[in-house]
Amino acid sequence: MSAPGGSGNPYPLGLRLAGRRVVVVGGGAVATRRVPALLDAGADVLLVAPELTPALRAHADAGRLHWAARRFVPEDLDGAWLVQVAIDDRMAAAAVSAAAAERRVFCVRADDRAAASAWTPAVTRHGPVTVAVLGGGDPRRAVAVRDAVRELLAARIGLPTAPGSPVSTSGSTAPGDPAASGGPAVPGDPLAAGGPAGSGGSAGTAGGRVALVGAGPGDPELITLKGWRLLTEADVVVADRLVPGLLLDELRPDVELVDASKIPYGPSRSQEEINRILVDRALAGKVVVRLKGGDPYVFGRGGEELLACAAAGVPVTVVPGVTSAVAVPAVAGVPVTHRAVAHEFTVVSGHVAPDSPASLVRWDALAGLRGTLVVLMGLKNLAAISATLVAHGRPAQTPAAVIQEGTTSGQRILRSTLDAVAADVAAAALRPPAIVVIGDVVHALTPPPPSALAEDAEG
């Protein structure tokens, strides 16, 4: 029973979820947007769904969450502190709500705000200060007010409005089907009922276009200002697996999110299908952002997507990104060039084995260079790459480093030598995404560590 005279308005509360079980039911686009913020909060996430998007599958494969590959059962909520329902099946969602109510677990629902016992707000942060906005069940209103507050903070204290430190944002996850809450984004009063957020969505107009945007190496604060602005204007975002998940959580709730993840040697969309999505959405009048990890043109197939759009008459904007080839080693304490150590660096793809007829890399020529060699996507073929370089004259004791999940909280650094690095990587159980750096710059800023594996505290 409500207290006499109570309004029934939501009671604002900050949840400290680190180490606490949070259940997410559903493995589609809504869950793809919700999960990164929960992981960032340190929650012990149980994801219950028969199938997952490639991006969520990557989280599961990396051990960042637990995946129950089946339908929900009430016992999934035993010991849980919170459940988020990210499915559009009303009957199944109601069953989760009922099980949550029986166990006194707060339940956020993406399909029916009125049936939810909790809503999650649109958030903006400044250092230790968090401003959270609930929009009375209207997620677009919450995002609009959130953005207005962020702009005010930026104007008052002279900070950027992108997600760069110390101001960052988190998108509204207030209940309401994101796909159904749509409507074009137009400027207006952020407090107006149903007032959408954002500065330029063009759904349903003739202004369709595509932007190829580099999201940077992993840290969401390393996207460029222009890239961030285009995300706020997007109607559709087509995102890769290596895109920082928190950037997706910041999207307007009416934005269509298309998972274009490509799991190494696993499930993925074909490039032709991705090209078709970009062209079709743009020709339908949508503002489409193709969001890629790193830089769109550094092994990102951005050129193919530009050509496909150009052939269809779709205008394209290219927004370069901070490439992981340079940024990840830098954050790990490895400069790719250093005075009196290396005056050149070469970036190559290791996706194709050195002895494959499909390889376009002259590994024999690279072995004769004295500078730094940066290998992207080379973990699977690292043993063959190392052996080939040594066979063609690169000294076996050349320093080598492998950096996993660079610039993120999961960053790990392994330092070794060219002849031993593949075995050391296997022993340390390093996994993609990882970058290999070969050359004397590995120890240019730090002496060789006593242990091959050093956990990076910077994250």
Residues forming the active site: 240, 262
Q: Is 252 exposed, middle or buried (0-12, 13-18, 19+ CB in 10 A)?
A: buried
d(CA 455, CA 459): 9
Kindly report the backbone phi and psi dihedral angles of residue 67, in degrees, each rounded to the nearest multiple of 5, phi listed first.
Answer: -120, 120
CA geometry: angle 370, 375, 380, nearest 5 deg:
130
Please state, in angstroms and as integers, the Cα–Cα distance from residue 33 to each residue in 21, 170, 239, 402, 443, following that order: 18, 10, 11, 29, 39
d(CA 186, CA 198): 7
Going by C-alpha positions, the residue among 110, 103, 102, 105 that lies closest to residue 25 is 110
Q: 109 forms bridges with which residues in the sheet?
A: 85
Please state, in angstroms and as integers, the Cα–Cα distance from residue 143 to each residue in 167, 196, 235, 254, 392, following that order: 15, 8, 15, 11, 57
d(CA 99, CA 104): 9
Contacts of 235 (CB under 8 A, 6+ apart): 185, 201, 202, 203, 254, 255, 256, 281, 286, 287, 288
Going by C-alpha positions, the residue among 374, 382, 363, 372 that lies closest to residue 430 is 382
Contacts of 144 (CB under 8 A, 6+ apart): 135, 190, 191, 195, 196, 197, 198
Residue 331 contacts residue 406 (beta carbons within 8 Å): yes
Residue the block writes with tokens 């110390």:
166
